[in-house]
Amino acid sequence: MNVLVVYDTQFGNTEQVARVIASHLEPLGIVRLISVSDEAAVDLDNVDLLVIGGPTQGHGARKQLRDWVNRIPAEAALGLATATFDTRLHWPALIAGSAARTIAKPLENLGANLLVRPESFFVQGTEGPLAEGEIDRAAAWAGDLASKCSEAAITASLGG
């Protein structure tokens, strides 16, 4: 399985979470970790799982991340297994917003298959650091995501 983990970060908190997620998805196969600031074109050829995350700012995702997601070709997203995450203050999502949810909407509109609900990891302040236990929670979330991928692969191989 080929996994692509894409992240946006401003203060390094989301990058920390992305690195933990990527490392815990390595049992699935080849994992690439890239920043949206890398000017590489959106190339999803041979990607089986796309994981995207960014910091929540202004009630959603930063412009650079939204632009990256909007460059995904519809044919590449159709049926693609995806998951989204964000980092944000530990306020109710109604007040803080959620970059993960902001990212998930256009992916779903393109026909991507969200394997798990968008997830938030919490920071202690605007610039961080990550709240206690969030690295462990990110590792567990990635483990759950890996299990979902394995289940989906088994179901697909059985023809159902």
- Please tell me the pTM assigned to this model: 0.93
Ordered by start, the domain boundaries in the chain are 2-157
Between strands 119-123 and 81-89, the pairing is parallel
CB 22 within 8 A of CB 54: no
Q: What is the CATH number of domain 2-157?
A: 3.40.50.360
Q: What is the pLDDT of residues 102-124, one digit of tens each?
A: 999 999 999 999 999 999 999 99
Q: What is the pLDDT of residues 124-155, one digit of tens each?
A: 998 999 999 999 999 999 999 999 988 766 55
